[in-house]
Amino acid sequence: MIVLEKRPQPSKAWSYATPLVAVIATMVFGGILFAILGKNPIEAIGTIFWEPLFGEFAFYYRPQLLVKGAPLVLIAIGLSLGFRAGIWNIGAEGQYIMGAIFGAGAGLAFYPLDAFYIFPIMVIAGAFGGWLWAMIPAFLKVRFGTNEILVSLMLVYVAEQFLASVSLGLLKNPEGFGFPGSRNLQSYESAHNAELIAGSGMHWGVVAAFIAVIFSYILLNRHMLGFHIRLTGEAPRAAKFAGVNPARLILFCLGLSGALAGLAGMFEVSGPSGVVSIDFNVGYGFTAIIVAFLGRLHPVGILLAGGLMALTYIGGEIAQSQLGLPAAAIQVFQGMLLFFLLAFDLLTNYRIRAARSEVA
Amino acid sequence: MKFTAVLASAAMALGLATGAMAQDKTKVGFVYVGPVGDGGWTYEHNKGRLAVEEHFGDQVETVFVESVPEGPDAERVMTQMALEGADLIFTTSFGYMDPTINVAKKFPNVKFEHATGYKTAPNVSVYSARFYEGRAVQGHIAGKMTESNIIGYIGSYPIPEVIRGINSAYIHAKKVNPDVEFKIVWAYTWFDPAKEADAATVLIEQGADVILQHTDSTAPQAAAQEAGNVITFGQASDMSEYAPKPRVSSIIDNWAPYYIARTQAVIDGSWETVNTWDGIKEGMVEIGEISDAVPADVKEEALALKAAMAAGEYHPFTGPLKKQDGSDWLAEGETADDGTLAGMNFYVEGLEGEIPQ
């Protein structure tokens, strides 16, 4: 018999090792899956992980990793702060949408004016939009004790309806022949979040993601507020004695994660995407939850996890077109990653031991 | 700035080089919005791809990526295909329009074909089918067969293509059944079986005994089957697994001939930008077999309607027709021009509700 025995202290070694073990396990079982589908597993996994980084066209894929990873990291950083304090913002997708609408709306309001201050205003508007949307569950939780998981999640669907509405009405391109969707911000220079160096993939959203990582690291390790966040998550009673004000913490964590998600949406809509359209959102807000946990809620971990997720997306597409792997197989592969992470997480808090057979 | 210019030209050179390498075998890429197994829209595009493979054999290699979100992800997938030496890329959803134009600019030697859009370029053609002709046949059958006089319609997005379909179906239902009423639900998705099933169930609960859909999955068919005594029509694909009832007929998009012709044009070097909008006459729109659940006389009328459109004798939008607000649109005997149809953003008289704004 094998039994699980709770460790007196969570194992530090395992908490660092689990992401690596999870990635290896995903490769092994993903490989088996690809083999069952009749593909060469080594080739498939090689394509997913190798091609985007070192393949023939890596000069194109490497910048794309930044483009794909930046919103994930930016959102996940915000979420991780709340998650550490036990405040569960599941609705980052909605805040991402609202940030995009506010940001793009602010920019389009100036169309076709050409001025340097338009883009900064859009950045502020985008952050404000996300913040505002996150303040709804925050306020309801503080005031009425509602569950922020449910409220923030449900508000995603409200935001999606709002997105459809503005794509068809308020922000619709007047020169779009009646088709839904806004003007393309890529062709409106003052509002375009262009690559800072052409072909590098570096746009302001990538810069913001790196800044967020650094600030989050400083906040958690060097600042009283960061200490309170960690304390509340790890020892709520102790936090109370330390004088942590839970209401303020909730407002701060939800507000900040909302603002960062809003920023991500704004940078996406003004850059890589360009248009506010009905299906502008593609799930970054939900994937960021995986990224946050994959990164152990640690800023540097999240940076790496965001890169890894971006890699599986881009590598997955290459595997689809080169090897004919179905999209669903790639999604299963990505799902495995989280599954194995959670499974091996058990080893951080428990150890496996062979049980002594009890003699009656 | 100089460095970036070098980078850009290096990228170009590589793109050109791979284009040249692939010259012995023409490579055709397909970007799909749903999974190839959706049983509807993407399924038919993929059938077109398979037809290209079969027709050209070793001369052509095809690649595809499925379930690609409309936006930057689509742009990346197209770029990837172009980099890997595709000579011709079909992008098969409306939302791929701007990404297609962006990528086409970077790869002037690669030809692009965008389905259902309106932006063209020297290396970008657009193509679509006159689905509204099929909708006329559906409307006729629906109007004849409904007993509750309530017809449910699952709209995807309120874009002209979908609104055209609603108008065409309504006009022809109303013609044979003046009491008919349309209930429209907007799903805001092309493919989401759960949402589509919900929409169908809601419509059935509101008394609809005919469900028309402009979404891509077979979920509404299944919902109708479960409810019983509700009829449906296959969308984009025959969906014959639900025949003879609930599915009594279907609109089938037949892309194969077009895909083969365009691939041939690339091989011959005769490819040029076109704006194709074909219907029943050219065979791009097909009417799936009308099942025995439809009374023989209705079936006969429906087939006659189809034949008239195939012969070019009848246009589904023929006056007198008024707009929803009561203003005149088409005079007696006048037919709608393609420009108005392409950008259609109004309901015809009699339809209730507003187009979401």
Q: Of the candidates A60, A184, A278, which has its C-beta nearest B83's C-beta?
A: A60
* Residue that finishes a domain, picked among B80, B105, B129: B129
- For residue B113, the domain's CATH number is 3.40.50.2300
Q: Complex ipTM above 0.85?
A: no
For residue B146, give its domain range. 131-252+288-342
- B106 and B192: one domain? no
DSSP for B130-178, please give it. -HHHHHHHHHHHHHHH-SSSEEEEEESS-SHHHHHHHHHHHHHHHHH-T
* Angle value at C-alpha A64, between A62 and A66, nearest 5 degrees: 85
Between A273 and A12, residue with greater pLDDT: A273
- pLDDT reported for residue A194: 86
Same domain, B148 and B179: yes
Do B51 and B199 lie in a common domain? no
Whether A186 maps to a domain, the answer reads yes
pLDDT over threshold 50, residue B6: no
CA distance B110 to B87: 5
- According to the model, what pLDDT value does residue A106 have? 95
Torsion of CA B129, B131, B134, B136, to 10 degrees: -130
Within the 208-227 window of chain B, which residues sit less than 8 Å (CB to CB) from chain A?
A: none
Q: Using an 8 Å Cβ cutoff, are A199 and A138 in contact?
A: no
Could you report the per-residue pLDDT of B319-334, keeping only the tens digit for each?
Answer: 899 999 999 999 999 9
Distance CA A321, CA B83 (A): 12
The overall average pLDDT reported for chain A is 90
Q: Decide if B83 and A282 are in contact by the 8 Å CB cutoff.
A: no
Mean pLDDT of B85-107: 93
Q: What pLDDT does B23 receive? A: 53
> CB of A232 within 8 A of CB of A225?
no
Q: Would you say residue A185 lies in a domain?
A: yes
pLDDT band, residue A358 (cuts 50/70/90) = low
Q: Which residues of chain A does B80 touch, with a Cβ-Cβ cutoff of 8 Å? A: 57, 60-61, 317-318, 321
A contact test, residue of B70, B114, B118 with most A CBs within 10 A: B70
Instruction: Report yes or no on B149 lying in a domain.
Output: yes
| Average pLDDT, integer, range B151-179 | 94
Least confident of A196-200, A317-321, B285-289, B336-340: A196-200
Q: Which of residues 287-346 of A touch B (CB under 8 A)?
A: 313-314, 317-318, 320-322, 324, 326-328
Same domain, B71 and B154: no
Q: Is residue B58 part of a domain?
A: yes
Nearest CA of chain B to the CA of A152: how many Å? 21
Residues B196, B112 share a domain = no
Averaging pLDDT over each range in A179-183, B18-22, B234-238, B256-260, which range is the top one? B256-260
pLDDT in tens, A294-353: 888 999 999 999 999 999 999 999 998 888 889 899 889 988 988 898 888 888 888 887
pLDDT score recorded for residue A359: 54
- The CATH number of residue A114's host domain is 1.10.3470
Instruction: Please name the residue of chain B whose CA is at the shortest distance from the CA of residue A175.
Output: B343
Residue B4 has pLDDT above 50, yes or no: no
Q: What is the pTM of this model?
A: 0.85
Token pair 């194992």 is found at A11
What is the predicted pLDDT for the residue at B22?
44
Task: State the total domains in chain B.
Answer: 2
d(CA A276, CA A172): 8
End position of a domain, from candidates B69, B103, B129: B129
Asked if B7 lies within 8 A of A199 by C-beta distance, the reply is: yes
- Please state, in angstroms and rounded to a whole number, the distance separating the CA atoms of residues B299 and B140: 10
The answer as to whether B264 is a domain residue is: no
Do residues B175 and B310 share a domain?
Answer: yes
Number of domains in chain A: 1
Is it the case that residue B15 has pLDDT exceeding 90?
no
B93 with B121, same domain: the answer is yes
Residue B17 above 70 pLDDT? no
Residues B145 and B76 in one domain: no
Whether A341 is covered by a domain: the verdict is: no
Identify the domain containing residue A309 by its residue range.
74-322
**Residue A276 located in a structural domain:** yes
Looking at the domain assignment, is residue B276 inside a domain?
A: no
Q: Is B61 on the interface with A (CB under 8 A)?
A: no
Supply the pLDDT for residue A226. 87
Stretch among A229-238, B165-174, B205-214 having the lowest mean pLDDT = A229-238
